[in-house]
Amino acid sequence: MSNLSPVDRAKFIAARRACDYVEDGMKVGLGTGSTAAWMVRQLGEMVREDGLRIKGVPTSSRTAHLARETGIEVISLDEAKWLDLTIDGADEFDGDLALIKGGGGALLQEKIVATASDRMVVIADAAKEVQALGAFPLPVEVVPFGWQTTKALVEETLAGVDVLGREATLRISGDGPYVTDEGNYILDLALRRIGNPWQTSLVLNQIPGVVENGLFVDVCDVVVIGRPDGVVEVRDVENGASTQRVDILGEDANLFADE
Residues marked as catalytic: 110
Round to whole Å and give the CA distance between 36 and 50.
Answer: 20
Is residue 160 marked as binding? no
Handedness of CA 37, 38, 43, 47 (dihedral sign): positive
Question: Rounded to 5 degrees, what are φ and ψ at 44?
Answer: -60, -40
Contact 237, 116 (CB under 8 A): no
Is residue 180 marked as binding? no
Is residue 33 marked as binding? yes
Task: Report the SS3 class of residue 172.
Answer: strand
What is the arrangement of strands in the sheet containing 215-216, beginning at the earlier edge strand?
92-93, 99-100, 215-216
Is residue 31 marked as binding? no
Is residue 35 marked as binding? yes
Is residue 96 marked as binding? no
Round to whole Å and give the CA distance between 59 and 75.
Answer: 11
Is residue 90 marked as binding? yes
Is residue 134 marked as binding? no
Contact 182, 108 (CB under 8 A): yes
Is residue 101 marked as binding? yes
In the annotated binding site for substrate, the residues are: 32-35, 88-91, 101-104, 128
In the annotated binding site, the residues are: 32-35, 88-91, 101-104, 128
